[in-house]
Amino acid sequence: MIRLVLVEDEALVRLGLRQLLAFDARIDVVADAANGLEGLALIELERPDVVLMDVRLPGLSGVEVLKAMRAKGLATPVILITTFDEEAAFLQAMHAGANAFLRKDISLEDLRAAIDAALAGERVFRPAITQVAQRRLFEMKASFPAAVLPDPLTPREIEVLRLMAAGLSNKEIAESLHAGEATVKTHASSILSKIGVRDRTRAVLKGLELGYI
């Protein structure tokens, strides 16, 4: 019996995944969690054979849970799932040692194959991953992994990004943060260059994708 822990915040998706997994008699979903912190605790408690986890979660993200697991010496295979193609999260997940990275619109076969491969210690990223991400993967293997990983935003930058997403202008953000507009512009420029976009519209979208917002 394959003992699996499921971490997924959206109840319907969680139900859907349980249902999907129920089709495979070898798999036993021993526990599920709706957020990262709870998930991490459950994983430590249950010591499952494999973890199926959403990338975007309230509190700790899937990638953060994965990092925490690895930091604690837990080598449990982890399969990350995501709603959209999240290239940056994908790269971070790769780096953090995820065993698979799948989109939510996968078939049962893909999921089963990913679980089998993960149990065997393989790392699969084929099903439903963007070609862009695949190409980046090669680049990553060929160069320094850290070089292609997105520069993490500082706490202040994340605040600014979130206020950007709320539709505030730099001046309004400055007022909101009790800082000068020049400061906000500095942060804004830094955010844009870090996440590799050239305007705030894309920054917000990308921030959404990266889980910052």
Within 8 A by CB and 6+ apart from 16, the residues are: none
Segment 5-34, which members bind a copy of itself (CB under 8 A)? 10-20
Q: Determine the residue type at 111.
A: L
Backbone angles phi, psi at 3, to 5 degrees: -85, 120
Q: Determine the residue type at 41.
A: A
CA angle at 119 for the pair 44 and 2, rounded to the nearest 5°: 65
The residue from 25, 138, 146, 199 that contacts a copy of itself (CB under 8 A) is: 199
Nearest in space to 53 (alpha carbons), one of 104, 106, 88? 104
Task: Pick the closer one to a copy of itself by CB: 128 or 137.
Answer: 128
CA dihedral 101, 109, 76, 126 (to 10 degrees): -30
Segment 132-171, which members bind DNA (CB under 7 A)? 154-157, 169-171
CA distance linking residue 37 with residue 39, whole number of Å: 5
Q: Binding of a copy of itself at residue 104 (CB under 8 A)?
A: yes
186 binds, among DNA, a copy of itself, none (CB under 5 to 8 A by kind): DNA
CA 150 to chain centre: 13
Q: What number of chain residues touch a copy of itself (CB under 8 A)?
A: 25
Task: Pick the closer one to DNA by CB: 29 or 165.
Answer: 165
143 binds, among a copy of itself, DNA, none (CB under 5 to 8 A by kind): none
Q: Binding of a copy of itself at residue 100 (CB under 8 A)?
A: no
The residue from 40, 42, 188, 210 that contacts DNA (CB under 7 A) is: 188
The residue from 56, 200, 211, 212 that contacts DNA (CB under 7 A) is: 200
Nearest in space to 53 (alpha carbons), one of 69, 128, 45? 69
The residue from 69, 187, 206, 207 that contacts DNA (CB under 7 A) is: 187
**Angle at which helices 155-165 and 200-210 cross, to 10°:** 110
Segment 156-175, which members bind a copy of itself (CB under 8 A)? 164-165, 167, 169
Note the residues at the interface with DNA (CB under 7 A): 154-157, 169-171, 174, 177, 179-183, 185-189, 192-193, 198-201, 203
